[in-house]
């Protein structure tokens, strides 16, 4: 599930610069996502239509939002995830399914049998390597 926060754009110049830096903006009024694809400024509709646009002609930049980065806590809240877990020494990591995240705990990542201080989502390549495929 995507989460958004206000982009707090102050000017068209800032809008352009942030897009050139790789940021995307969402406008819930028209369901468009605005971004720079490396060649053109693009407005992508939720209805699978992408159009070039001129940033200076966009009037409602003060309502734009940006995507809140997806965190490991968000992933675990959706469903248990296979993660690398460890306490103090990152070199001593183990793969476990993390079932929950307890925000007010010094060891917040809960597995079936234990709690860990740190966790990192395992990548598909790491899982394949671990399984020996």
For the whole prediction, is pTM greater than 0.75? Answer: no
d(CA 68, CA 129): 31
Query: Using 50, 70 and 90 to split pLDDT, how confident is the model at 112?
Result: very high
Mean pLDDT of 14-42: 90
| Cβ neighbours, 10 Å, residue 57 | 7
pLDDT of residue 47 exceeding 70: no
70-102: pLDDT as tens digits: 888 888 888 999 999 999 888 889 999 999 999
Task: Spell out the domain ranges in the chain.
Answer: 4-67, 72-131
* Residue entry with tokens 């002609």: 57
d(CA 128, CA 133): 5
Euclidean distance between the first and the last CA atom of the chain, given in angstroms as a whole number: 31
């Amino acid at each position: 599930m995507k989460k958004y926060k206000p982009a707090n754009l102050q000017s068209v110049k800032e809008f352009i610069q942030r897009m050139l830096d790789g940021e995307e903006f969402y406008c819930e009024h028209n369901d468009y996502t605005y971004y720079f694809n490396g060649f053109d400024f693009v407005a992508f509709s939720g209805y699978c239509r992408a159009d070039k646009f001129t940033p200076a002609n966009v009037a409602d930049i003060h309502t734009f939002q940006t995507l809140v980065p997806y965190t490991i806590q968000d992933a675990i809240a959706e469903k248990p995830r296979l993660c690398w877990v460890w306490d103090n020494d990152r070199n001593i990591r183990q793969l476990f399914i993390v079932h929950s995240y307890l925000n007010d705990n010094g060891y917040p990542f809960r597995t079936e049998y234990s709690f860990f201080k740190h966790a990192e989502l395992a990548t598909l390549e790491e899982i394949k390597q671990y399984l020996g495929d």
